[in-house]
């Protein structure tokens, strides 16, 4: 008659043995697309992206508006040393704007080493896959040559201004390239920015010495040239680079004002450009 007490206090149901299940991490396939200049990259885990909802569209429009404001601020502000407008490939100028914008927050800084025996567009693709930690498959990245050419131009400005590589002003002429990465992973949007800079002169190469070539070569020269023009092609060289990663947290007004980009009559956008310009040195050091 007290069997129910036995069942309640004195007896425990035999539990099923616990099976330890190994967690499985399987990277999703990703699809990539760059804008014409290569500065904005769209990455998605969905092959068909025609059905973007409005929030996702707006989050990526924010990046376009920001990039437009950044470019305008650079090209309408004169560098006090060169007396010319700032370049989009000016590493320090872009870094200063990102830091002062209040929309990008630095989350990581790393230095890396990149090795390659390629040149031209092939070198650019190999470098970007390494630095951005992506794999672009058979896709061509023709903008990479323009990227190297832009960074080379930026570096040459310092030489023309007779700026010593050891001086405080040398950083103002460091070449760099900015990438805005807009990702949709399983329907969730996220935007990051990656700012890359390269030490263009390669480390000494035993392979080059054995082949009777110069010990060092500029990565900018290799990357900006046609592959068939290069006698150094096929020699494995090594360069160092720096990578800064930022997380984007935009204000809502950016998406709301994107329609004004072509008309140039958006007060808030103009105020944003003015804010960016304030972060750029405009007066010479007395």
| pLDDT for residue 171 is more than 50 | yes
Average pLDDT over residues 146-167: 84
Residue indicated by tokens 């299940």: 21
| CA dist., res. 239 & res. 175, Å (int) | 14
DSSP 3-state assignment of 219? helix
Which of 51-55, 92-96, 279-283 has maximum average pLDDT?
A: 92-96
Residue 17 covered by a domain = no
The closest of 43, 55, 62 to 186, measured between CA atoms, is: 43
| pLDDT for residue 20 is more than 50 | yes
| CA dist., res. 206 & res. 24, Å (int) | 43
Run of H or E including 70:
helix 54-75
Count CA atoms within 13 Å of residue 130 on its CB side. 19
Q: How many CB atoms lie within 10 A of CB 34?
A: 18
| pLDDT for residue 5 is more than 60 | no
Residue that wins the pLDDT comparison between 271 and 144: 144
Residue 36 covered by a domain = yes
Average pLDDT over residues 159-185: 82
pLDDT value at residue 23? 63
Q: Which of 124-133, 229-238, 254-263 has the lowest mean pLDDT?
A: 254-263
pLDDT value at residue 9? 40
Confidence of residue 12 (pLDDT cuts 50, 70, 90): very low
Residue 275 buriedness (CB in 10 A; 0-12 / 13-18 / 19+): middle
Angle formed at CA 121 by CA 31 and CA 217, multiple of 5 degrees: 135
CB 207, CB 216: distance < 8 Å = no
Residue 180 covered by a domain = yes
Confidence of residue 213 (pLDDT cuts 50, 70, 90): low
The closest of 243, 285, 282 to 83, measured between CA atoms, is: 282
| pLDDT for residue 90 is more than 90 | yes
Residues in the chain: 286
DSSP 3-state assignment of 213? coil
DSSP string, 82-147: TSSBPPTTBHHHHHHHHHHSSSEEEEEEEEEEEEES--HHHHHHHHHHHHTT---TT---THHHHH
First and final C-alpha spacing in the chain: 101
Average pLDDT over residues 81-110: 91
CB 146, CB 167: distance < 8 Å = no
Determine the angle formed by the axes of helices 91-100 and 54-75, rounding to 10 degrees. 130
Residue that wins the pLDDT comparison between 149 and 261: 149
| CA dist., res. 54 & res. 56, Å (int) | 6
Which of 10-19, 98-107, 205-214, 229-238 has maximum average pLDDT?
A: 98-107
How many domains would you assign to the chain? 1
CB 179, CB 197: distance < 8 Å = no
Residue 24 covered by a domain = no
| CA dist., res. 147 & res. 86, Å (int) | 15
For the stretch 191-209, pLDDT in tens is 899 999 998 887 767 676 6
241 phi and psi angles, rounded to 5 deg: -145, 160
pLDDT value at residue 56? 72
For the stretch 268-279, pLDDT in tens is 667 777 878 887
Domain range for 95 is 32-278
Tokens of 263: 């008309």
Residue 3 covered by a domain = no
Residue 27 covered by a domain = no
């Amino acid at each position: 008659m007290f069997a129910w007490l036995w069942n309640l206090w004195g007896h425990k149901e035999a539990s099923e043995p616990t099976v330890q299940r190994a967690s499985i991490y399987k990277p999703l396939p990703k699809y990539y697309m760059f804008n014409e200049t290569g500065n904005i990259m769209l990455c998605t885990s969905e092959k068909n992206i025609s059905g973007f909802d409005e929030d996702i569209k707006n989050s990526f429009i924010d990046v376009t508006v920001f990039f437009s404001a950044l470019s305008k601020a650079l090209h309408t502000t004169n560098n006090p040393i060169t007396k010319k407008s700032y370049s989009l490939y000016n590493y320090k100028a872009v870094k200063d704007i990102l830091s002062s914008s209040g929309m990008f927050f630095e989350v990581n800084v790393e230095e890396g080493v990149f090795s390659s025996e390629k040149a031209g567009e092939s070198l650019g693709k190999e470098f970007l896959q390494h630095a951005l930690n992506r794999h672009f498959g058979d896709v061509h990245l023709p903008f990479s040559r323009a990227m190297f050419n832009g960074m080379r131009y930026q570096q040459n400005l310092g030489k023309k201004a007779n700026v010593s590589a050891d001086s405080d002003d040398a950083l103002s002429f460091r070449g760099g390239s900015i990438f805005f990465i807009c990702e949709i992973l399983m329907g969730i949007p996220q935007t990051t920015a990656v700012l890359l800079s390269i030490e263009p002169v390669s480390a000494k190469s035993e392979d080059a010495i054995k082949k009777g070539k110069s010990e060092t070569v500029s990565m900018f020269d290799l990357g900006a040239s046609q592959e068939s023009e290069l006698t150094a092609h096929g020699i494995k060289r090594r360069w160092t680079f720096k990578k800064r990663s930022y997380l984007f947290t935009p204000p809502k007004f950016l998406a709301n004002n994107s329609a004004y980009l072509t008309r140039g009559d958006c007060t808030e956008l103009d105020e944003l450009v003015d804010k960016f310009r304030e972060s750029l040195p405009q007066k010479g050091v007395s």
